[in-house]
């Protein structure tokens, strides 16, 4: 009976109620809080060394042996194998920052880890978690209010490109592409300004495509005002360069019509076979003629066609590209101003796309070829063509450029900026500490803890740059107070100046606000959990 208790149903039949408490584990009270905080600190400490321009990269090896090298917080966490429930929340926090802002994914996790670390000390003093959460909320409001006071803004137009480039360069400074990050920053700014609607403050990322090809140097990366597709002409003897291209964009295949029913066609004699062959040739000729009659001099087809059709297209001097994917077809249609045609009968001159030049790119000694469609009718569609020595660097360059594109998009939507290098965090820390002096209730301890947690970002930047962290941050803090200059931050690049405006280290206000709000929301949620019941194997990190 030690396994359970005996009970009887309404008909008097006995049954056993089994105990499974030995298979469950329970943590409650301060133990639960300590477990949560330990998990969050472990995740934050993993990313802490990746923060800033001198931050280190992480290498992740998947179960099938695929290697990823990245400095991006969201990428690192998404590839980590995490079991602890609170650690999974930290992964989701990083993803939320990535989805909402696109940058600051490492900083938000470091911030949340620091807030929970400070909360642990307050819990040890006997302060109730709800009072800590309330204090953090009050401090967050003070910090965001101070951010609004110290931010700068600039008019957004083509003549102020330099501020946009400087902001993109700050984002790219910690990435693998930083040896040519001026070039990458200019590419990101030009790409966003090409597709941006500045009146509506809207950027359509669907019009920006990133394509990579192994080989060449990172410096060979370029912005194409048009579309690059990983295809070549269907026949090697077709022209490799077409000027003033009029493009027929088809989603119907170059092949004879098939019966729509399930009936089969029996060929019983040689004459029948010859008639069928003549019929097929006539149909091919008719299809080619319908395309040629519209004035098209290039066909881009979503489907393939056999060698006979390919040969006929070459004979009729109609260059063609086959097996072009759906998203690429749509982008070509947007860029060239053409219409996607599902039937040959519907093809007309006004549905053709127009491009100044279509050319085939070749790469080194390989047989790889790509098509570039340039000088398009609609110049808003652009492609970033990335070159690098291997696939890993190309993938990391794509992630880096995505962050830079997101930052420039955020500036288009809200062109207020703050200065990086930990300057904004130190300024907020001073403001929160000052405000905490005016609070008479227990929340003042939580507000001071929040101010100390804000220092974790400049401390990590100084530590990763090889400087004495506590001494460096203390000096910057005292200078900010005496000089009343909120732009002073950590000189990570050892340029001899701590003024981040002079160093052109710029971050978007929206990114900093989101980091504070998301980190505080997660910390409050974790502090309110005081009881965990789970299977015993699910309690470890």
- Report the candidate in 449, 466, 508, 504 with the shortest Cα–Cα distance to residue 104: 508
| Mutual angle of helices 456-464 and 443-454, in 10-degree steps | 20
SS3 for 281?
Answer: helix
- Report the candidate in 351, 370, 335 with the shortest Cα–Cα distance to residue 252: 351
Are 37 and 364 in contact by the 8 Å Cβ rule? The answer is no
Dihedral angle, C-alpha 114, 116, 119, 123, nearest 10 °: -140
DSSP annotation of 215 reads B
From 72, 455, 491, 499, the catalytic residue: 72
Q: Which helix (H) or strand (E) holds 243?
A: strand 241-250
Q: Known catalytic residue: 72?
A: yes
- Report the candidate in 476, 245, 3, 284 with the shortest Cα–Cα distance to residue 467: 476
For residue 519, what are its two tokens?
Answer: 């980190």
Q: Known catalytic residue: 105?
A: yes
Question: In angstroms, rounded to a whole number, what is the distance separating the alpha carbons of residues 514 and 502?
Answer: 25
For residue 284, what are its two tokens?
Answer: 């091919």
| Mutual angle of helices 443-454 and 423-436, in 10-degree steps | 160
From 106, 170, 171, 383, the catalytic residue: 106
Look up tokens 């206000």; give the residue. 509
Q: How far is CA 536 from CA 20, 21, 40, 210, 378, in A?
A: 11, 10, 20, 45, 60
From 46, 68, 75, 105, the catalytic residue: 105
From 98, 403, 455, 499, the catalytic residue: 403
Question: In angstroms, rounded to a whole number, what is the distance separating the alpha carbons of residues 77 and 87?
Answer: 10
Question: In angstroms, rounded to a whole number, what is the distance separating the alpha carbons of residues 234 and 425?
Answer: 57
Catalytic residue list: 72, 105-106, 403
């Amino acid at each position: 009976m030690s396994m359970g208790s005996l009970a009887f149903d309404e008909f008097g039949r006995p049954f056993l109620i089994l105990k499974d408490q030995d298979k469950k584990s329970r943590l409650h009270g301060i133990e639960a809080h300590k477990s949560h905080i330990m998990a969050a600190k472990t995740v934050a400490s993993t990313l802490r060394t990746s923060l800033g321009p001198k931050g280190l990269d992480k290498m992740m090896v998947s179960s099938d042996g695929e290697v990823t090298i990245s400095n991006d917080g969201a990428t690192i966490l998404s590839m980590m194998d995490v079991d602890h429930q609170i650690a999974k929340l930290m992964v989701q926090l990083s993803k939320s920052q990535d989805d909402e802002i696109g940058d600051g994914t490492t900083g938000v996790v470091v911030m949340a880890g620091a807030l929970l670390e400070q909360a642990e000390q307050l819990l040890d003093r006997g302060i109730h978690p709800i009072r800590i959460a309330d204090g953090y909320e009050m401090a967050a409001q003070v910090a965001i209010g101070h951010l609004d006071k110290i931010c700068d803004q600039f008019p957004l137009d083509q003549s102020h490109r330099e501020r946009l480039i400087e902001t993109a360069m700050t984002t790219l400074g910690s990435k693998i592409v930083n040896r040519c990050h001026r070039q990458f920053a200019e590419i990101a700014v030009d790409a966003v300004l090409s597709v941006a609607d500045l009146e509506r403050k809207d950027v359509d990322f669907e019009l920006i495509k990133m394509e990579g090809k192994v080989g060449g140097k990172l410096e060979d990366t370029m912005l194409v005002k048009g579309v690059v597709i990983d295809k070549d002409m269907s026949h090697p003897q077709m022209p490799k360069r077409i000027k003033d291209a009029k493009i027929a964009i088809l989603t119907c295949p170059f092949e004879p019509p098939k019966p729509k029913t399930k009936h089969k066609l029996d060929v019983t004699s040689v004459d029948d076979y010859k008639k069928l062959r003549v019929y097929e040739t006539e149909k091919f000729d008719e299809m080619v003629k319908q395309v040629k009659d519209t004035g098209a001099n290039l066909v881009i087809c979503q489907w393939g066609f056999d060698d006979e059709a390919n040969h006929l297209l070459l004979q009729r001097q109609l260059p063609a590209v086959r097996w072009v994917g759906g998203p690429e077809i749509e982008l070509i249609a947007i860029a060239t101003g053409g219409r996607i045609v599902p039937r040959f009968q519907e093809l007309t001159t006004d549905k053709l796309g127009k491009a100044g030049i279509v050319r085939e790119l070749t790469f080194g000694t390989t047989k790889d070829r790509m098509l570039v469609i340039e000088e398009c009718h609609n110049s808003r569609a652009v492609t970033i063509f990335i070159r690098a020595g291997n696939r890993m660097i190309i993938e990391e360059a794509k992630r880096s450029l995505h962050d830079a594109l997101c930052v420039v998009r955020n500036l288009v939507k809200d062109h207020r900026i703050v200065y990086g290098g930990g300057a904004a965090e130190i300024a907020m820390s001073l403001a929160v500490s000052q405000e905490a002096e005016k609070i008479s209730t227990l929340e003042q301890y939580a507000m001071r803890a929040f101010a100390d947690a804000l220092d974790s970002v400049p401390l990590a930047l100084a530590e990763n740059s090889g400087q004495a962290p506590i001494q460096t941050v203390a000096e910057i803090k005292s200078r900010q107070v005496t000089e009343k200059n909120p732009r002073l931050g950590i000189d990570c690049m050892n340029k001899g100046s701590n003024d981040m405006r002079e160093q052109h280290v710029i971050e978007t206000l929206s990114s900093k606000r989101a980091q504070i709000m998301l980190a505080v929301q997660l910390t409050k949620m974790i502090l309110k959990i005081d009881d965990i019941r789970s299977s015993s194997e699910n309690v470890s990190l």
